[in-house]
A and B are shown apart, each in its own frame.
Chain A
């Protein structure tokens, strides 16, 4: 019975450990694409192998004892039960091993904490449940939402390759430049984590945290929020696109141009006359990106925390109240002030959509001009 167990257990552990170094199998930590992530990976592997060796020695003695000193085979117990010398030895040797581990760990940590001389500074704000990226010196700012369709999450559509790890607007950074991240939160504690960079920093409301990275290889790197932050903690991923510097500069310029064009377009669109059908169509898109996670695609919400909009007092009642709650949110709840996040056209569209979808059929139309007026502009 005993030998059968050992014969089965030993190969299992050997098999498990032998393939551990192959990160492609998804078994091990990634060495990543920065010098720091490589150092972290190396530290991880050193400590891991030390533990394996210690385990083999200690468990080896145990298995040996269980085999050799069985009462059923006639073993007679020895009488010794203490030895100060032995206790000292097996206190000092582990201590020395730990000091040996602490040296590279300390130097890597000192490198990680050296945030000086950064080339680009980016402010990262965690929201319930998305990230906002703000290129401080370049006047570019945008939200990054999960873009996996609800239908995939609800098992009504086949899941894509980057299921739950894809966003509408990735963070774009140049390779070979030191990027400094300033991390904070709009509401609860979140945590920004990209395994390929070995960067994980908590986002704390009211406080700013720093981290940095310098990416060696172009590519797309995906991460997730790493601090429980409410209902959709698992649904606010991070996607970073690291590109050659010329491509980054072009992207930045395009973003700045687009921001200007969007403002212009928004004011033009605000000025232009929209039809009910067009507003509803646009509103549905906005709704699915910004509202459906809580209020659900069918408008039924998840009461009581996320009220239904279908047949609701707000969507069926006075337009001013509806506009107000979308613009300014509802304090003490998860309903955010979308007036800060969406432009007038999107706001008008989504409110119009909500008043007419799912059988609400109010026939109401809220125009971008109405929204602008409500904002006090």
Chain B
């Protein structure tokens, strides 16, 4: 049977352990943020297509036995007023073939503006196999008032793309960062 002193000590110990768990779970909540990104990267979830892709030498062996349709769609977020369209809405590529598609952008307003394009690929199963070698979405883009630009996307589809995937859709959403206080946490994937 515990006396009051022993009970007090045991209680203190329980409280300390419980507090450690509490703080730990608070940290866990924040750890979910990078964890989510890691899981999305590994599994290609959420249409995230990975960071800038570095081509290995000898990688560009084209698989001529099949063609994959790649569609491009664009959206402007909120009041973003830039004209933003792909030069072509669809291309057909062989896996392993390096392809370039240009996007036409223009700023019709009277002031310079800063934008960020965020990509998303569908189906998400294909995101792991869609490699962007060069993309205007890797950096923020500035256009002066009335300025037009032609922004390239260079990509290659991995030869290991599952055979049942014959059509991929790459969507870009253009965000207006001109007056935003968003600091770029990381390169969008």
Contact = CB atoms under 8 A, between A and B. Distances in A.
Interface of A: 115-118, 121, 123, 125, 134, 136-137, 182, 184, 186-187, 205-210, 327-331, 335-337, 339-340, 375-377
Interface in B33-67: 46-47
A121 B169 contact: yes
Interface of B: 46-47, 71, 73, 75-81, 89-90, 108-110, 118, 120-123, 145-146, 164-167, 169, 171, 173, 175-176, 179
Given A116-B164, A207-B47, A376-B146, A182 B81 contact: no
Contacts of B81: 327-328, 337, 339-340
B176 A186 contact: no
Given A328-B79, A331-B78, A118 B167 contact: yes
A210 B123 contact: yes
Given A186-B78, A337-B78, 5 more contacts: A134-B73, A136-B90, A207-B171, A210-B122, A328-B79
B167 to A, nearest CB: 7
B164 A336 contact: no
Contacts of B122: 115, 182, 208-210
Chain A interface mostly helix, strand, loop or mixed? loop
Most B CB within 10 A of own CB, among A121, A184, A206, A375: A206
Contacts of A116: 164-167
A137 B78 contact: no
Contacts of A187: 77-78
Contact of A376 (B78, B110, B179): B110
Contacts of B80: 337
B71 A136 contact: yes
The 4 closest A-B pairs by CB, nearest first: A329-B79, A337-B79, A208-B171, A208-B120
Contacts of A134: 73
B144 to A, nearest CB: 12
Contacts of B118: 206
Contacts of A205: 77, 173
Which of the listed residues B75, B81, B176 has the most CB atoms from chain A within 10 Å of its own CB?
B75
A375 B90 CA distance: 29
A85 B165 CA distance: 51
B40 to A, nearest CB: 11
Nearest to A330: B79
A251 B81 CA distance: 30
A344 to B, nearest CB: 13
Contacts of A125: 75
Contact of B71 (A117, A121, A186, A329): A121
A376 B73 contact: no
Contacts of A207: 46-47, 120, 171, 173
A252 to B, nearest CB: 16
28 contacts: A115-B123, A116-B164, A116-B167, A121-B71, A121-B169, A136-B73, A136-B90, A137-B71, A182-B169, A182-B171, A184-B75, A184-B120, A206-B175, A207-B46, A207-B171, A208-B121, A210-B122, A210-B123, A328-B79, A328-B109, A331-B79, A335-B79, A336-B78, A337-B80, A337-B81, A340-B76, A376-B145, A376-B146
